[in-house]
Chain A
Amino acid sequence: MGAFFALLIKVKGNLSYVYNFFVETRGALKTAYFEAAAEGADAAKPYATAQTDPEKWLLSTTISVNGTEVAEYSRAEEIRFTEEYLDHFPKHEGIITYRGSYRRDVTSYGTPALTDGKFGATWRYRTGRFLKCDGVNYWSGNGWTGQPLAVRWDEATKRHMNLYPEAKEKAGLTEIIYPGMDGKIHFLDIETGEETRPAINVGMCFKGTCSLHPEYPLLICGSGDSATGLFGEQVSARIFIYNLIDGKKLYEFAADDPFAPRLWHGFDSSPIYSAATDTVICAGENGVLYTVHLNSSYDAENGILTVNPDEIVRYKYESRSAEERFESSELSNGSGSESSAVVWENYLFFGDNGGIFQCFDLNTMTPVWVQDLREDINSSPVLETTERGEVFLYVATTLKYYYDEHHTGTAVLYKLNAKTGEIVWQKAYEVHTVLGLAGGFLSSGASGTGKVSDYIYYAVSKVPKVDSSCLIAVSKQTGEAIWQKELACDAWSSPALIYAADGSVKLCQCCGNGDILLMDAESGEILDRVNFGSNIESTPVIFENHLAVGLRSEYIVGVELR
């Protein structure tokens, strides 16, 4: 009887999940390759094919400028992210957005010695928790993508900041900036874990990754859930802009947006700044894509930073598949974006919870092509530009809609032609989806360069067992696995590549059992392991030879890489 109740607790009262706890999936399935789909990847600009025509997948699109719907839009000052800009981004030293760049392909900063290939000293810093909107449960520590930023400020900027004296005095200070599920933005020294300045108590939980302006000490972070209160009120999630000179809030927007097709307001996506046009681009889980002209100014001499947003352009769409797939109810209809977008030239590439992946013209606020990937897109895309001028995207899905009676099905890694949206290859994995948690690709890819330039790395959740995962290195050319390592626990955290001074490439993977693994990226051999005792969902930041990441058990931890 006791064993039965223990099983019932494990499957959260749903006996149909018992199957998943005793049966393994097939794991990796055959790769499907479509050679012709790569054609046109070197075209001058994106265009739709018959398969990716927006009208095939979208019922309608709507644009609003400063609250008024318009039939069409043309940006006064055109946005353009050139290859040269993306190659030399940002002005700050460090990791200032999710995966370090707007291609989402920079997973560490610097070239550490790593002579031992081992972990060294560690530190811990206590965080906290935040009440969920059900008024009973709470968010704790750091999770979801939850990647910290790491910045080595220049001395001129540091001088103006509200840092503690010892932090201000420290030469070469590298500061972690970390909004967390406890509703605060923490500021720590990546080497020691000591506070560098007082935390900002924002009052809403954060589970995505924030972004720092490429040139100014200006932070944008989107909260991941509504806040509640003692009378059951729902305080809408929103996007905040903070001044990192004095820690003051400069602006907030996107709360209770009547334009949004979804009631759910969450902003986990890491924003993108076009510094040249002073515009920030934020995709929301409420189904709205925002571009905001910040009208910002920074007097570096005196440390005065202001914003005065004067144009907010919103875009939403209705997909043909939403009713079939998504939470269609009297409250809400539509999909939103949980992953972070990528950019190339004036085009934004982003996916949503309903499987719709778009190439979007930021200067006209219209979709260029649309591809239906059929499943929830939680993993952020990775953009690759080859030497031949071809542009590709790596996008992966989780199993949310099309699972069978045993709660298993396929989650897929796609290589897309970024110019046409056509599928070049797709690699499927048979995964479990149970207990309200989807299996598949929750992590984002780590795109290799140098010795591992043909590899892209992912962690695949709930395969082959319901409580295990696989770390995979996949060939960018063929989609075949080069190596695969089964982990005895779940893994949501995205793998991070470290390029050592000796030319070797290491890989760091954070795991659901509290392990952080240091591996040889070429062979998959585990070189070292350190355990922090609790679930690490978040993606780490790696700055030179220091790593920092948040745990769900209400700690931020740091590790030296030796």
Chain B
Amino acid sequence: MRIARYKWISVIAAAVLLLTLALPWNGGKTDMKGFSETAELKGLTVTGVSVKSPDNAVKVFLDTYFGVDFGAYESEKTFDEALARLRRHEASAMWAVDLTADYLCRDGEFSALSPGETPGGGNTRFSFGFAFAPESTGELAKADEWIAKAIADGTAGAARERWAAGNAELPSFSEDGKALYIGVTGTVPPLEIVSPDGSVGGAAVELAGRFAESIGRRPVFVVLESETALVHLMAGKVDMLAAYGTSENHSMEIPKYRMSVGYADVAEYRLVVNEKEVSGLITFMSVIKDNLISGGAYSLILRAVAVTAAITLCAWILTMLFGVLLGYGATGKKRAVSATVRGIAFLLRSTPVLLAMLLLDYGVFGTLHISSTVLAALAVGLYGAGTLAEILTEDDAATEADRTFGIYVKTTVPARLLGAKREWKRLMIGLLQWTTVAGYIGANDLTKVMQGIGNRTLFPVFSIAFSIVLYLVAVLITEVAFSAIGRKKQND
């Protein structure tokens, strides 16, 4: 297996450089200080999880709610990412509802600052309840009844207390009945928690699971991003959300989604600030341990590698099968057919892969609850097929008008691919690289998992660098495979 020497050396050098530079030699930020009043945060950066409102609107809200002119507001896609920023002191404060602030402050790592007097101060500002799509009026009525009972008999309160203490576990739920897909965003711990391995927990999740059982359904939890949770609900990807805000409506517009009564009240928002300093010089071994071993990280990484490999291999297979078909159709005798196929191939290779993924997730298969791994492979594979068809039809095949499909597959395609081996190889490597966006639709691929680990350990640069190294190794393996194919053909 002969791979050009420069490629091996490049990958090894990159690995060493990246992993070395990624070490936090300076021990993180040193210019931290505690805050005892919201006024001290004037001009500083606040973070939080992304919500439906854009960041500039959220800043207007935070400025007026807390009566402070903050310097900037920068949101993160997940609660853990926002918390990681706070832990790294890249933001001076993070907004949270009062019950989340209490949860975060329970062990002294954080403290929370309250606003001044607010309208209706001290009373319930809003509540968290279940959110349903408009057509789910039956489930909504049952949910209202069930929540009222859960509050009255103490079930809801007990669940909240258990999860607030920080050591609860999700009970097992019945496996019987039709699935009820429940969206979980992890935005409001301890109501909703999403762990790095994608497992869920929290009082709202527990209550949602118990509610599903009460109506004879099997709860299936689907992890969603906060910003797009409602969109997924309206698209039918999930049947309900475990936790969303509900209050009296005064806007003269009927919301498209339906809210149950609340099971957890919120009186105010708070600003969570970091009481802990980032530790000093970290040894190389402790970085390896924290990012690759501790907390089951190695298991997460191995599973993520498997997911990435599965998406890549499936995409390659789809690329080859469908790409060959498109190539055959594009060079057919009938102009109408060949023009149509060429048009389809053009669309497939021109549509950005991420947008195709989102279209499949929200639109085409939105209500079918198909695995995001499969959808990612499909999106990447279709792009690959469109590109492969272009490679196969570069010479217009007017002279091959009489060929059959069998000859095309056995003779034409291998010849074309070997003749354009470099482009074919670049395509396959490109497809591998495109799998890195699979996390946008919830697939736990290598990129997403490593990013999550980095947010947890506060060394995101190291985990990103490690991911790059793994992808470079995968590229080398692909190069080896193509080299072997080339040599075999040569020998034949």
Binding site for B on A (CB under 8 A): 128-131, 133-138, 182-184, 201-204, 223, 226-238, 240, 249, 252, 255-256, 263-265, 327, 329-332
Please, how many angstroms separate the alpha-carbon atoms of A135 and B59 in the complex? 11
Chain B interface mostly helix, strand, loop or mixed? loop
Known: A128-B64, A131-B64. A229 touches B126 (CB 8 A): yes
B172 at interface by CB-CB < 8 Å: no
Contact A229 B252 (CB under 8 A): no
- Pairs across A and B, CB under 8 Å, 24 listed: A128-B63, A130-B60, A131-B60, A131-B64, A133-B250, A133-B251, A136-B53, A137-B57, A203-B115, A232-B52, A232-B255, A233-B246, A234-B249, A235-B120, A235-B125, A236-B250, A249-B117, A252-B119, A252-B120, A255-B120, A329-B254, A330-B254, A331-B249, A331-B254
B58 (CB) vs chain A CBs: closest residue: A230
Closest to A183 in B: B64
Chain A residue contacts of B48, Cβ below 8 A: 230
Contacts of A134 in B (CB 8 A): 251
B63 touches A232 (CB 8 A): no
B248 at the interface (CB under 8 A from A): yes
Report the nearest B residue to A262, measured CB to CB.
B252
Give per-residue flags for B59-91: 1 if the beta carbon is below 8 A from chain A beta carbons, else 0: 011011101000000000000000000000000
B57 touches A201 (CB 8 A): no
* A237 with B269, Cβ < 8 A, contacts A229-B125, A231-B126 known: no
* Residue pair B269, A226 in contact (C-beta under 8 Å): no
In contact, B250 and A131 (Cβ under 8 angstroms): no
15 more contacts with CB within 8 A, not counting A131-B64, A230-B269, are A131-B57, A133-B250, A135-B57, A138-B60, A202-B119, A203-B64, A204-B119, A232-B245, A233-B126, A234-B249, A234-B250, A264-B250, A329-B252, A329-B254, A331-B252
Interface residues on B, range: 35 or more
Q: Interface on chain A toward B: helix, strand, loop, or mixed SS? A: loop
Q: Which residue of B lies closest to A137 (CB)?
A: B57
**Interchain CA distance A184-B252 in the complex, whole Å:** 25
Name the distance in Å between A139's Cβ and chain B's nearest Cβ.
9
| From A131, A137, A264, A327, residue with most partner B Cβ within 10 Å | A131
**Residues on the A chain within 8 Å of B120, using CB:** 235-236, 238, 252, 255
Given contacts A202-B119, A229-B125, contact A265 B250 (CB under 8 A): yes
In Å, the complex CA distance between A359 and B424 comes to 85
In the bound complex, residues from chain B placing their C-beta under 8 Å from that of A234 are 247-251
Which residues on A sit within 8 Å (CB–CB) of B248? Answer: 234, 236, 256
Complex CA distance for A137 and B254, rounded to whole angstroms: 18
Interface centre among B54, B126, B250 (most CB of A within 10 A): B250
Interface status of B263 (Cβ within 8 A of chain A): no
CB atoms of A230 and B61 under 8 A apart: yes
Contacts of B64 in A (CB 8 A): 128-131, 182-184, 201, 203
Chain B residues in the interface with A (C-beta under 8 A): 48, 51-54, 57-58, 60-61, 63-65, 67, 95, 97, 115-121, 125-126, 128, 244-252, 254-255, 266, 269
Q: Cβ of A238 and Cβ of B61 under 8 Å apart?
A: no
Do A229 and B119 contact each other (CB < 8 Å), given the known contacts A134-B251, A201-B64, A332-B252? no
- Cα A136 to Cα B119 in complex, Å, equals 21
Cα–Cα, bound, A138→B128 (Å): 25
Q: Which listed residue (B119, B249, B251) contacts A203, Cβ 8 A?
A: B119
Which residue of the partner chain B has the closest CB to A263? B250
Q: Which one of B52, B67, B119, B121 contacts A227 once the chains associate, using CB atoms below 8 Å? A: B119
For A227, list chain B residues within 8 Å (CB): 119
A310 to chain B, nearest CB (A): 21
| Residue with the highest number of chain A CB atoms closer than 10 Å, among B117, B119, B246 | B119
A249 to B118 Cα, complex, angstroms:
10
How far apart are the CA atoms of A226 and B53 in the complex, in Å? 16
Q: In the complex, what's the smallest C-beta–C-beta distance from B113 to chain A, in angstroms?
A: 15
A237 with B250: in contact, given A131-B60, A203-B64, A255-B119 (CB under 8 Å)? Answer: yes
**Could you tell me the distance between the alpha carbons of A135 and B48 in the complex, rounded to whole angstroms?**
16
Give the CA-CA distance A235 to B121 in the complex, in Å. 11
Cα A243 to Cα B331 in complex, Å, equals 84
Q: Which chain B positions have C-beta within 8 A of A256?
A: 248
Chain A residues whose C-beta falls within 8 Å of the C-beta of B60 in the assembled complex: 129-131, 138
List, in ascending order, chain A residues with CB within 8 A of B57's CB: 131, 135-138
Q: Is the pair A201, B67 in contact by a Cβ cutoff of 8 Å?
A: yes
Cα–Cα, bound, A128→B48 (Å): 22
Cβ-closest 3 pairs across A and B? A231-B245, A233-B126, A201-B67
Cα of A255 to Cα of B250 in the assembled complex, Å: 10
Q: Which residues of B contact A137 (CB under 8 A)?
A: 57
Chain B residues whose C-beta falls within 8 Å of the C-beta of A202 in the assembled complex: 119
Q: Which residues of B contact A204 (CB under 8 A)?
A: 119
Nearest CB on B from A47, distance (A)? 37
The CA-CA distance from A348 to B121 in the complex, in Å, is 33
Quick one: given A201-B116, A227-B119, A232-B52, are A263 and B61 in contact (CB under 8 Å)? no
> Is there an interface contact between B252 and A327, defined as CB atoms closer than 8 Å?
yes
Whether the pair A230, B53 counts as a contact (CB closer than 8 A) is yes
A348 CA / B65 CA spacing, docked (Å): 36
Question: Closest approach, in angstroms, between the C-beta of B99 and any C-beta of chain A?
Answer: 12
B67 pairs with A226, CB closer than 8 A: no
CA distance A182 to B118 in the complex (A): 14
A203 neighbours in B (Cβ, 8 Å): 64-65, 115, 117-119
CB-based contact B61/A229 at 8 Å: yes
Q: Say whether B116 contacts A230, CB under 8 Å.
A: no
- Given the complex of chains A and B, what is the CA–CA distance between A561 and B57 in angstroms? 39
CA distance A249 to B427 in the complex (A): 67
Contact in complex: A231, B117 (CB < 8 Å) = no
Q: Is the beta-carbon distance between A233 and B67 smaller than 8 angstroms?
A: no
